[in-house]
Amino acid sequence: MSSSSKCEIPLTVNGEKYSVIARQADTLLFVLRNHLGLTGAKPGCLNGDCGACTVLMDKTPIKSCMILAIEAIGKSVTTIEGLRDAPIQRAFVEHFAFQCGYCTPGFIMNAHALVESTPNASEPIIEKWLESNVCRCTSYFEIEQAVKSVLAEKQASKD
Amino acid sequence: MIGKSVIRKEAWDKVTGRAKYTHDKLQQGMLHAHLVTSPYAHALIHEIHFEKALSVPGVRAVVTGKGLPLTGEDLRDRPPIAFDKVRYHGEVVAIVVADTPIQAEKGANLVQIVYEPLPTVGSPRAALQADAPLIHENLGSYEKNDHTYPEPNTNIAHRTKIRKGNMEKGWSESEVVIETSVAFSPSDHLAMETRCATAEIFPDGRIEITASTQSPFMIKKLISTYFGEDVGKVVVHTPLVGGGYGGKAPVQLELLAYLASKAVRGRKVSVWNTREQDMITSPVHIGMEATVKLGCTKDGMIKAAEILFLFDGGAYSDKAIDVTRAAAVDCTGPYRIENVWCDSLCIYTNHPYASPFRSFGHCEQAFAIERAMDILAEKLGMDKLELRLKNAILPGHTTPTRVLLNRSNVGNLPACIKRLRELIQWDQWQRIELNARTVRAKGVSCSWKTSTIDTEASSGAIVTFNPDGSVNLMSGVVEIGTGSKTVLAQILAGKLKMDIDDIHVKMDIDTQSTPEHWKTVASRGTFMGGRAVLNAAEDAIRQLKAIAACVLRSPIEDLEVGYGKVFVRDDPAIFIPIKDIAYGYKYPNGNAIGGQIIGRGNYTLRHLTPLDKETGAGKPGPEWTVCAHAVEIEFDKRDCTYQILKAVSVVDVGEVLNWKAAIGQIIGAMSMGLSFASRETFLFDRYERVLNPQIRTYQPIRFGEHPEYIADFIKTPQIDAPYGARGAGEHGLIGIPAALANALSIAAGVPLNKLPLFPEQIWRAQKGK
């Protein structure tokens, strides 16, 4: 079977079940955008370099341009459209952590996974996580402030 | 309202993935284009074979450059699709249109082109050599506008001359003279959204274009100019734009989308750049080589400046001509110099062609001047900030193009320098050795900028009312990320004394229904768009008062508008709510007067003139924003690596309209300046092919590599501007590359005059290699 032959791909995205007819060679990013209309994940480089297409697969951030849709079968995919009032979204708004907004969905998904999985993240860990995404408008300082504010809230609610 | 950190209107759309950009608007039946680009930087095209491409299932058309008109904003030197010759690596040679992007790419891979490579030109200085290959043999026959001066039979697309004062006198008064040269190659804007456009042509001749652009109204105009289409039939839509930085000011893919649609009988076609194409096929950040000679008295008063800017405009001149002119306008930096000679050349090379880059020729100009200022200070044995302060431009002085400055049209540079001095604790230390390996140093710079847009460029705004008294705001300023639309809403809310939440901003541009704003460039959105909004608000207020005067039986002059009401000024208890007259007024018996309130306003900068061909004299812009910058670094002497610890900019913005947004503009621009100066460049091979058109090899600053940022403001109002606010979108960037190079030169003990400042570059400078 060639990579261009189409098949039925069952996907779970944002808690909803979908069945998509797509090529086996189609990336998850392409299927999310072109089949499901979920255009929050952005095609910034299609090479895994910029992070604008970041989504969560079973709570782990992945670059959806670097993975095939068929690899997401049986996993739970969360895109920016699936976040509902996540603290990181408000923090990005309040800290002016974006301008043009194009890298924002990827940054937010990555940062969301960080604060959820590692609420006590140290500075080097924050850096390690977020260096995978590129932003050209902000100075990154605003994004750092947004992420740290959510971590601080998490800390405070724990204490 | 003014100064408040109002959350941008489209904020929640952007954090929920609901914000739509051009390429997010997929449509059933839309065709997709793939660009076939040149693997050579300079070559003749002998044959193009596309029969195989057409045989790919789903491929609907292949478009080549045969018979197309030349394009270019100042000088028409560029075929939209190369035909007889390619002049840069990545140049478009054909467009393949197919049902899906994958089919289009398959088709593109099957287009066969027979090239004959030609010798290439790899730098401005090489382009000026007598035996340099000519990149445009027909330079003398190209159409051009009145203020562009190409030099036929050379590689010079345009030369701007500044001649002020008397150079002989200047040099005779100079007791200390320095000369220095700087250089950097072209680089990229790297907006996260790659450039893209769609076009569809309807049976009645209507051309609908959607584009990620800073210039929707210019697209409309240029498609009309280039292809003879009725200007009224071209409608351009621009949704949110994913970063511009000047890179989306030129018009390129829109022309290709139009041509592709034409080739498939008007069907909708999408042209979308891959990252690699976006970096080299579409216009780039200009490169430059420059020489600066400064002369001053023993006590540091600068008497003469001779400046030669050789800009690497790349293969086509397009907007590069304007960029090189802007650098000449402010060539001296923010200093009082009576005797100035400057030639700023826009030079053809076989590099990707240039477009504006945030600061429009100014971070380039400032890099040359501010390196020279440091070298001059060192020769004088003078404090580097002291030298800058001593020569700071002030009201009463004239600019290089002989504009007389006053307390409104120029900011307060001495105040910026004073504040910078405190913020970086300049007087405490400037260079310290932490240990045998590590040294810390501070570098400083000053900068200034005016705009250099067309003298007749205008901005328009419309405000309409809703039945609940809330207002819709339509302006032609594109939301490219700077938050301008929200700032305009703040200006309107301030004028109408309304709650900002009751102002609904139309985010998308539709050139048929949105009033024109020339281009969203030059940090002019707030000034021009703001004045237009204020005029539109005045117009609406007049209409509201006219209706209220009837209803309240009061003279118009006695009425005020605000807080959702029109009220009598000496007795506010007598009022009518705006909602009751927003659609006119209905009397109890059913009679009605007036109708929906529609305020309109426009604004054109006044008294601007083009530059004189021989002397450069002229008034290019309404005001100069001035800034002082500093960068603090820690340098490792053993391997020439360094860390950027702190970056500071003090900007005289006149007034801050939205505090957090303004800080974001300044430090965002500083980040871009640091990234450019420390690591961004295209790497060319000996055939002038770009080796690193990918983010993983081009390597911008990433999270965690950012230093501490400090932005602060001085407020000297520009009295014509809304609330006195000067332009600020670009200014945080201008002096930053120079400040970084100055800091590293001090740390490394060797003049560093080439960008980017890779550790290897510093090592080479130290070893004289």
Ordered by where they begin, the domains of chain B are: 11-118+195-272 (3.90.1170.50), 284-453+609-767 (3.30.365.10), 458-604 (3.30.365.10)
Confidence of residue A3 (pLDDT cuts 50, 70, 90): low
Over residues B269-317, the pLDDT tens digits come to 999 999 999 999 999 999 999 999 999 999 999 999 999 999 999 999 9
Average pLDDT over every residue of B335-345? 98
Residues of A in contact with B11 (CB under 8 A): 93
Q: What is the 3-state secondary structure (H, E, C) of A71-106?
A: HHCCCEEECHHHCCCCHHHHHHHHCCCCCCCCCHHH
Over residues B242-261, the pLDDT tens digits come to 999 999 999 999 999 999 99
Confidence of residue B454 (pLDDT cuts 50, 70, 90): confident
Residue A2, pLDDT score: 62
Strand duo B207-211 + B234-238: pairing: parallel
Q: Which residues neighbour B516 within 8 Å (Cβ) at sequence distance 6 or greater? A: B217, B458, B459, B460, B476
Confidence of residue B41 (pLDDT cuts 50, 70, 90): very high
Read off the tokens for B351: 């590099």
Residues of B in contact with A104 (CB under 8 A): 14-15
With beta carbons less than 8 A apart as the criterion, state whether B584 and B547 touch: yes
The candidate with the shortest Cα–Cα distance to A119, out of A84, A85, A91, A158, is A158
Q: Do A43 and B23 touch (CB under 8 A)?
A: yes
B392/B413 Cα distance (integer angstroms): 6
Q: Say if B192 is an interface residue toward chain A (CB within 8 Å).
A: yes
Q: Which residues neighbour B417 within 8 Å (Cβ) at sequence distance 6 or greater? A: B385, B388, B389, B392, B446, B628, B650
Residue B1, pLDDT score: 80
Which residue is closest to B272 within chain A, CA to CA?
A43
A/B interface, count of CB pairs below 8 Å: 162
What type of residue sits at position A150?
V
Q: Say if B577 is an interface residue toward chain A (CB within 8 Å).
A: no
Over residues B73-97, the pLDDT tens digits come to 999 999 999 999 999 999 999 999 9
Residues of A in contact with B676 (CB under 8 A): none
Task: Please state, for a pLDDT cut of 70, what percent of chain B lies above it.
Answer: 100
- CATH class of the A87-158 domain in this structure: mainly alpha
Over residues B207-220, the pLDDT tens digits come to 999 999 999 999 99
Distance from the Cα of B485 to chain A's closest Cα (Å) equals: 12
Q: Which of A39, A126, A139 sits opposite B668 (nearest CB)?
A: A139
Q: Do B668 and A50 touch (CB under 8 A)?
A: no
Which of A31, A96, A103 to probe the B interface (max B CBs under 10 A)?
A96
Confidence of residue B524 (pLDDT cuts 50, 70, 90): confident
- Please state, in angstroms and as integers, the Cα–Cα distance from residue B125 to each residue in B95, B151, B348, B477, following that order: 34, 16, 10, 38
With beta carbons less than 8 A apart as the criterion, state whether B703 and A127 touch: yes
Q: Which residues neighbour B172 within 8 Å (Cβ) at sequence distance 6 or greater? A: none
Q: Say if B16 is an interface residue toward chain A (CB within 8 Å).
A: yes
* Mean pLDDT estimate for chain B: 97
Q: Which of B14, B482, B708 sits opposite A104 (nearest CB)?
A: B14
Q: Say if B24 is an interface residue toward chain A (CB within 8 Å).
A: yes
For the cut 80, the answer to whether the pLDDT of residue B523 exceeds it is: no
Residue B525, pLDDT score: 85
Q: Which of A79, A80, A93 sits opposite B11 (nearest CB)?
A: A93
Over residues B390-437, the pLDDT tens digits come to 999 999 999 999 999 999 999 999 999 999 999 999 999 999 999 999
Which residue is closest to A26 within chain B, CA to CA?
B102
A22/B478 Cα distance (integer angstroms): 36
Q: Say if B5 is an interface residue toward chain A (CB within 8 Å).
A: yes
Domain with CATH 1.10.150.120 in chain A: 87-158
Average pLDDT over every residue of A119-134? 97
Which residue is closest to B18 within chain A, CA to CA?
A40
B453/B319 Cα distance (integer angstroms): 11
The CATH number of A6-82 is 3.10.20.30
Which residue is closest to B278 within chain A, CA to CA?
A45
Residue A141, pLDDT score: 97
Which residue is closest to A143 within chain B, CA to CA?
B703
CB-based burial, B157-192: b 16+ in 10 Å, e otherwise: bbbbbbbbbebeebeebbebebebbbbbbbbbbbbb
Distance from the Cα of A159 to chain B's closest Cα (Å) equals: 28
CB-based burial, B426-450: b 16+ in 10 Å, e otherwise: beeebeeeeeeebbbbbbbbbbbbb
Residues of A in contact with B660 (CB under 8 A): 96
Q: Which of B102, B482, B670 sits opposite A99 (nearest CB)?
A: B482
Residues of A in contact with B194 (CB under 8 A): 43-44
**Alpha-helical runs (H) found in B298-361:** 320-329
Which residue is closest to A138 within chain B, CA to CA?
B668
With beta carbons less than 8 A apart as the criterion, state whether B473 and B529 touch: no
Q: Say if B670 is an interface residue toward chain A (CB within 8 Å).
A: yes
Over residues B133-190, the pLDDT tens digits come to 999 999 999 999 999 999 999 999 999 999 999 999 999 999 999 999 999 999 999 9
Q: Do A102 and B11 touch (CB under 8 A)?
A: no
Q: Do A142 and B664 touch (CB under 8 A)?
A: yes
Task: Please state, for a pLDDT cut of 90, what percent of chain A lies above it.
Answer: 94
Q: Which residue has the higher pLDDT, B123 or B769?
A: B123
DSSP state of B141: G
Domain with CATH 3.10.20.30 in chain A: 6-82
With beta carbons less than 8 A apart as the criterion, state whether B166 and B348 touch: no
Confidence of residue A5 (pLDDT cuts 50, 70, 90): confident
B667/B679 Cα distance (integer angstroms): 18
B460/B477 Cα distance (integer angstroms): 9
State the distance between the two ends of chain B, measured CA to CA, in whole angstroms.
57
**Alpha-helical runs (H) found in B212-252:** 216-227
Distance from the Cα of B86 to chain A's closest Cα (Å) equals: 26
Which of B14, B30, B106, B680 to probe the A interface (max A CBs under 10 A)?
B14
For the cut 70, the answer to whether the pLDDT of residue B335 exceeds it is: yes
Q: What is the rounded radius of gyration, in angstroms, for the C-alpha atoms of chain B?
A: 27
Residue B580, pLDDT score: 97
Residue B568, pLDDT score: 97
B11/B26 Cα distance (integer angstroms): 23
B 356-385 residues with CB below 8 A of A?
Answer: none
Which residue is closest to B661 within chain A, CA to CA?
A96
Residue B427, pLDDT score: 97
With beta carbons less than 8 A apart as the criterion, state whether B53 and A116 touch: no
Residue B158, pLDDT score: 98
For the cut 60, the answer to whether the pLDDT of residue A1 exceeds it is: no
Q: Do A139 and B709 touch (CB under 8 A)?
A: yes
A118/A128 Cα distance (integer angstroms): 12
Average pLDDT over every residue of B495-509? 97
Q: What is the rounded radius of gyration, in angstroms, for the C-alpha atoms of chain A?
A: 16
ipTM of predicted assembly, 2 dp: 0.97
The candidate with the shortest Cα–Cα distance to B732, out of B704, B700, B710, is B710
Which residue is closest to A52 within chain B, CA to CA?
B192
Q: In what order do the strands lie in the sheet with A16-23?
A: A16-23, A6-13, A76-78, A54-57, A60-63
Strand partners, B179: B293
Over residues B555-595, the pLDDT tens digits come to 999 999 999 999 999 999 999 999 999 999 999 999 999 99
Confidence of residue B519 (pLDDT cuts 50, 70, 90): confident
Over residues B684-696, the pLDDT tens digits come to 999 999 999 999 9
Q: Do A45 and B24 touch (CB under 8 A)?
A: no
For the cut 70, the answer to whether the pLDDT of residue A9 exceeds it is: yes
B 82-121 residues with CB below 8 A of A?
Answer: 102
Residues of A in contact with B193 (CB under 8 A): 42, 44, 100, 102
